[in-house]
Amino acid sequence: MKNNMSHGEQEIYFSLEPGNIYEVRLIKNIVRLKKETLLILLSRLVKKGWLTRLKKGVYVVNFPDGKMLTDPFLTALNIFGGYLGFSSALYVYGVMDEYPSTVYVCTSKKSALRVYDKNIEIKAVALGKRATGAVYLKNYFVSSKGKTLYDCFYMPEHSGGYSNILAAIPRLKLSSYDWKVFLFYLKKFGNGSLSRKIGFMLEILNNSVNGAVPLGLLKELNVGKQITKLGRGDHGKFIKKWGIVNYIPKKDLLGKLTYG
């Protein structure tokens, strides 16, 4: 951190609150400088480490020790917009105990990766028309519980894998409304193959945790006729009821639930 701020730079920095995020137009209203002068001073403050540029026209005020915003979730939303999803949404809902090393933001068009610090990265995932279903919770825009579950099954690689998703379901405490939302998005954006794979896994979960999944839901998921695969490998087992070839042992699907 370089401490040699000019008078004008000090006027800006000490008029703002460390840890907060500001747009240029708001800073301009606070310090009352001409825009051209303001942009020059902001650029200098970024180079000296007093500010961090999140995106064009948006800055976070660093703390005197050089640390940036203490909340990477809020930083991610300010950089990319969209909503928190996948494992990040599970963390916000309190069903994941470990602080995520990757913060996931769901957007409609932009996929990108930013390094927040040496321990955390921020990843934007473009979902196109699927980038919907967000609610406002705990100062964040985050996917609703039902939409979170759909997104996680749609892209399990961003959610810790199937075992992590299945372990999260009992802790999510999904209401009948949440399940309806999940089913709505699955029918809207999914297909028979995905529905049956999810149904098969939810049935396994329900056999292990009684009442974790509404029984009526399982019937609605058993749709379509084309045989599909769950996982990869050389020795799959055909599950006639669900029309899938399963390569993932039950102990692996329920590993996170069983062993934590």
C-alpha of 172 from chain center: 15
Residue ranges per domain, the chain?
7-61, 72-259
Q: Enter the pTM of the model.
A: 0.80
Cβ burial 211-238 (10 Å sphere, 16+ → b, else e): ebbbeebbeebebeeeebebeeeeeeee
- Write down how long the chain is: 260
- Look at residues 97, 89, 100 and name the one whose alpha carbon lies nearest to residue 141: 89
Please name which of 243, 240, 232 lies closest in space to residue 156, comparing C-alpha atoms. Answer: 232
CB-based contacts of 242: which residues, under 8 Å, 6+ apart? 196, 197, 199, 200, 203, 222
Cβ atoms of 107 and 80 within 8 Å: the answer is yes
The fold of 7-61 is Arc Repressor Mutant, subunit A (1.10.10)
User: Helix, strand or coil for residue 106?
Assistant: strand
Residue 76 to residue 54: CA distance in whole angstroms: 9
One-letter amino acid identity for 67?
K
Residue 143 contacts residue 89 (beta carbons within 8 Å): yes
Q: Are 109 and 128 in contact (CB under 8 A)?
A: yes
- Helix and strand numbers (H, E) in the chain are 12, 12
Residue 78, both tokens: 């300010």
Q: Output the tens digit of pLDDT for each of the chain's 260 residues.
A: 456 899 999 999 999 988 888 889 999 999 988 999 999 999 999 888 898 888 788 888 888 876 666 688 988 998 899 999 999 999 999 998 888 889 999 999 999 998 877 778 999 999 999 999 999 998 899 999 999 999 999 999 999 999 999 999 999 999 999 999 999 999 999 999 999 999 999 999 999 999 899 989 999 999 998 999 999 998 899 999 999 999 999 999 999 888 76
Query: 62 and 51 in contact (C-beta within 8 Å)?
Result: yes
Ranges of H-type helices in the chain: 7-13, 24-31, 35-47, 72-80, 86-92, 145-154, 162-172, 176-189, 192-208, 215-221, 250-253, 255-259
